[in-house]
Chains A and B, each alone.
Chain A
C-alpha cells in the first residue's frame, strides 16, 4: 500500500511508523500519562491520534523496556498509568533521531542530483 499525502494530516502509516520515536521524544521532556501524550502530540500537529493506535504502541515500548511505568491516582478512574523514559529508551531515542536525520537528508537530496 502506497502512503498517499493526506490534506488532513500525515498518512496513517507514516503516523504509526513515527509514533514510537515521537512518544519517546515526548517522554524525554518528563513522565506523563497516555491522554496527555495524545493531546501534546496532536497539538504539535501530528493529527488525530486514536487510542487504538496510542495504547498498543505504549504497551510495545513498555514490553521492550524502553519505557517504565508507575501508577498514580486518577480522577474518578482506575488510576493513571504514568509513562517514563528508561535509560534504554533514552539511548534508543538518540539512535533513532540520528537515523531519522539521515533519512531526512536522503529524502531532501533525492531527485535533486544524479547518484555519483
Chain B
C-alpha cells in the first residue's frame, strides 16, 4: 500500500498525463471514496498507463467519468448506504443549524445596531425565548429525522421529544422571568454572539456515529431481522408492516432450513443487513413515492398554518411593507410547492431513485464476484 500523498503520486505520472490525473483525483474527491481508496486508484491507473504505453485519456477516457465508474465499483456496502443519506453525520447537522442561528444573529444584530444604535438595549427576553424555542425545536426535529433515516428509532424519539421539550421549557422560563423587558445587553453584543456561534459550530467535536457495519456484524438471526427491518424503514421509508412483509420470506426460509437440519449463518446466506437492504433497494418504489409526497406536504402544511397568522395582518389598514413582503413570499412558496407536487415530478423522482438503487444493488453484486 502506497504512503505517498495523492499529489506525490500525480507527480510520478508522465507529464502529459498529470492534468488527467488531477481531474481523476478531483472526480474521486466528490465521491464517497476514502483518501486511501483514492490513493490506491491513482497508483493503479499509473501502473496501467506505464504498462500500456498509452496516454491516460486513450486508456480511460474522461477522468471525471472514469472516477465515477471506479467509485461505483469500489464502494463498500457502508459507503453505498451513506450515498442514500442527505447528511452524513449528526455533527454536520449541528454545524448547519448553529451556523444558521449564528448568521441570523449576525444579520439581525447588524441591522438593529445600525437602526437603534450600538449602545442601546433593543433585544427583549421574549425574542431570546423565541430564538431558544425555534433553534432548539428545529435542531431536535432535524436530529429526530437524521436518526430515523438511519434506522435508530429509539435515539430519534429520545432526541426529538426530549430536545423539543427542554427547548420549549427553557424558552418558557426565559419568557416568564424576563417578560417583555429589554435584556441588559448592548446591541453590539448580538452580532458578536452570532460570529461566536458560527465559529463554535465548526470547532465542535465530531461524535463517533454507529456505522451500519458495526451494527450488522452480529450473526444472531433475531438481531439480523431486527436490524434489516430498521434499515428498510429508516433508509427507504417502508412502513413497519411493509418492512415486516419484506423480511418475512427470509425468516420463513431460515425456519425451513432449520427444519431441513441446516444451520444457516445469516451473514453467509443473506449477507449483512446493510447488504441485504441495498439488494432490496430497487423494489422500493412505493415507499419512495410516499416519502417524496410527505417531504413536500409537510412544509406546505407549515406554510399554510403560518399563513393563517400572516393573512389577517395583510388586511389591516396599517399593514407594513414587511407584512406585504411576507404575504408575497408565502404565496410564492405555496405556489411553487403545489407546482412541484405534479405527478410528473413524482414519477421522475421515483424513477431516478430506483435507477440509483438498481445501480447500487448491481454494483454490490458485481463486487461479490471480484
Chain A interface residues toward B at CB < 8 A: 1, 3, 11-13, 16, 33-35, 38, 50-53, 55-56, 58-60, 62-63, 74-81
Known: A35-B257, A59-B246, A63-B285. A50 touches B252 (CB 8 A): no
Cβ B251 vs Cβ A35 within 8 A: no
Shortest Cβ gap from A46 to chain B (Å): 16
The proximity string for B residues 152-177 relative to A, scoring 1 for CB distances below 8 Å and 0 otherwise, is 00000000000000000000000000
Interface residue? B365 (CB, 8 A) = yes
Per the bound structure, the CA–CA distance linking A50 and B265 in Å amounts to 11
CB neighbours of B244 from chain A (8 A): 78
Cβ A77 vs Cβ B285 within 8 A: no
Known: A35-B253, A52-B271. A78 touches B280 (CB 8 A): no
Per the bound structure, the CA–CA distance linking A78 and B369 in Å amounts to 33
Cβ B256 vs Cβ A59 within 8 A: no
Per the bound structure, the CA–CA distance linking A60 and B245 in Å amounts to 14
Shortest Cβ gap from A75 to chain B (Å): 6
What is the total of A-B residue contacts with beta carbons within 8 Å? 87
CB neighbours of B253 from chain A (8 A): 34-35, 38, 51, 55
Interface residue? B318 (CB, 8 A) = no
Known: A55-B249, A63-B285. A1 touches B255 (CB 8 A): no
CB neighbours of B256 from chain A (8 A): 35, 75, 77
Give the B interface residue count (CB, 8 A). Answer: 31
Query: For residues 237 through 291 of chain B, which have their beta carbon under 8 Å from a beta carbon of chain A?
Result: 244-246, 248-253, 255-257, 259, 264, 268-271, 275-276, 279-280, 282-283, 285
Please tell me which one of the listed residues A35, A52, A56 contacts residue B252 in the complex, with CB atoms under 8 A apart.
A35
The listed residue with most B CB atoms (<10 A of its CB), out of A38, A56, A76, is A56
8 residue pairs, one from A and one from B, having the closest CB atoms: A56-B279, A59-B283, A35-B256, A52-B271, A63-B283, A78-B248, A77-B255, A81-B249
Cβ A60 vs Cβ B282 within 8 A: yes
Known: A52-B275, A74-B255, A75-B259. A81 touches B369 (CB 8 A): no
Per the bound structure, the CA–CA distance linking A47 and B57 in Å amounts to 41
Please tell me which one of the listed residues A3, A59, A60, A76 contacts residue B255 in the complex, with CB atoms under 8 A apart.
A76
Cβ A52 vs Cβ B251 within 8 A: no
